[in-house]
Homo-oligomer: A and B are copies of this chain.
Amino acid sequence: MSTHRYALRVACPSIRGVTAAIANYLSTNGCNISDSAQFDDKSTGRYFMRVSFHSEEGRTLSQLREGFAEIVERYAADAEFFDETAKRKVVLMVSRFGHCLNDLLYRWRIGALPIDIVGVISNHTDYQKLVVNHDIPFHCIKVTKENKPAAEAEQMRIVEESGAELIVLARYMQVLSDEMCRRMSGRIINIHHSFLPSFKGANPYKQAFERGVKLIGATSHYVTADLDEGPIIEQDTVRVTHAQSADDYVSLGRDVESQVLARAIHAHIHGRVFVNGNKTIVFPPSPGSYVSERMG
């Protein structure tokens, strides 16, 4: 097919007619909507919409953006047009637990997530060989109390030079500075190995074991200056019994962490997530968005 598959994200104050205005615009510009979702938040008066469409008459993204400026202004909207099939550049950060890294490298290799991993940053060297063998630049940046500002400057330099629009903390165990959190607001996704808000901070599996919960979980969220308090994108849980130790939890948690993080990235990368105060809106996946490019 010669058509392009694009998507549009809009967030604006809830005003009657906005859906019609957007639908008209797309129709008038030769775009055929394939699926869409909307949410009108009564408590905040904000309206959110995501539309997938085919540009059947050849309009390019820049043409679509240009023509849409009038609607953006009329509705005081935040709007973003993007190509659903274009790969987004991502930098991964990891410390010593490698399961999320391994999982994301695999999904990237088979094209199950439309991302380009343009770099991996670690405060350890454990995964240097693994990453390099994937032909991905590996950056070891040790972080200490003393060098933290310099280390973060170096991290940010790598992110910016690589053109990455998203940082994924794939079990990166250093707390980022408030400044870095603010600067990359809505662009850093973390996986925390508990069902937040339970068991924030260090050693959540040990905390969970000591409390005697019957399910452990994982939470993927945008990183903010408040540790483990950012907007939650995805969570899931797995059953444990009295017969499992905190060390068992670490292993059982690997699978749920890897999957929760991958799902959160899938949602973010496909433009399905909107930050709404300290919460998120996560729209359902578009048809075909899970299809991977390769068998394995």
The chain A residues found within 8 Å of chain B, CB to CB, are 14, 16-17, 19-20, 22-24, 26-28, 30-42, 56, 96-99, 101-102, 106, 110, 112, 126-127, 133, 195-199, 211-215, 217, 231-237, 241-245, 247-248, 250-252, 254-255, 259, 276, 278-282, 284-292, 295-296
Contacts of A212 in B (CB 8 A): 231-232, 278-280
B-chain residues with CB within 8 Å of residue A112 when the two chains form the complex:
251, 254
* Residues in B neighbouring A16, C-beta threshold 8 A: 27, 30-32, 56
> Inside 8 A of A285's CB, which chain B residues have their CB?
243-244, 248
Cα distance, A243 to B37, chains bound together (Å): 11
Q: How far is the CA of A197 from the CA of B196 in the complex (A)?
A: 10
Nearest to A248 among chain B residues (CB) is: B290
User: Which residues of B are found within 8 Å of A244, using beta-carbon distances?
Assistant: 285, 287, 290
CB distance from A117 to the nearest CB of B (A): 16
Taking a contact as CB atoms under 8 Å apart, the answer to whether B243 and A39 are in contact is yes
The verdict on A35 contacting B38 (CB below 8 Å), with A20-B26, A24-B20, A98-B295 known, is: yes
> How many copies of the polypeptide does the oligomer hold?
4
Interface contact A19-B33, CB-CB below 8 Å: yes
In the complex, chain B residues whose CB is within 8 Å of the CB of A250? 291-292
Give A234 to B97 CA distance when docked, in angstroms: 27
The minimal Cβ–Cβ distance linking A114 to chain B, given in whole angstroms, is 12
> Which interface residue of A30, A233, A237, A291 has the most chain B CB atoms within 10 A?
A291
* A245 and B278 contacting across the interface, CB-CB below 8 Å: no
Q: Inside 8 A of A231's CB, which chain B residues have their CB? A: 212
Q: Which residues of chain B come closer than 8 Å to A214, judged between CB atoms?
A: 232-235, 282
Enumerate 27 A-B pairs (CB-CB under 8 Å) in ascending A order: A16-B31, A19-B23, A20-B28, A33-B40, A35-B40, A41-B242, A98-B295, A101-B296, A102-B296, A195-B237, A196-B213, A197-B211, A214-B234, A241-B282, A242-B281, A243-B285, A243-B286, A243-B287, A244-B285, A244-B287, A245-B287, A245-B291, A247-B290, A247-B291, A250-B292, A252-B290, A255-B259
Chain B residue numbers with a CB within 8 Å of A211 are 196-197, 232, 278-279
Q: Report the separation of the CA atoms of residues A45 and B281 in the bound assembly, to the nearest whole angstrom.
A: 29
Nearest first, the 4 A-B pairs at minimum CB distance are: A98-B296, A212-B279, A20-B23, A20-B27
- What is the CA–CA distance of A279 and B296 in the complex, to the nearest angstrom? 30
Q: How far apart sit A22 and B17, CA to CA, in the bound complex (Å)? A: 11
Q: Is the CB of B259 within 8 A of A232?
A: no
* Nearest B-chain residue to A240, judged by Cβ: B290
Known: A19-B23, A40-B33, A251-B290. A215 touches B195 (CB 8 A): yes
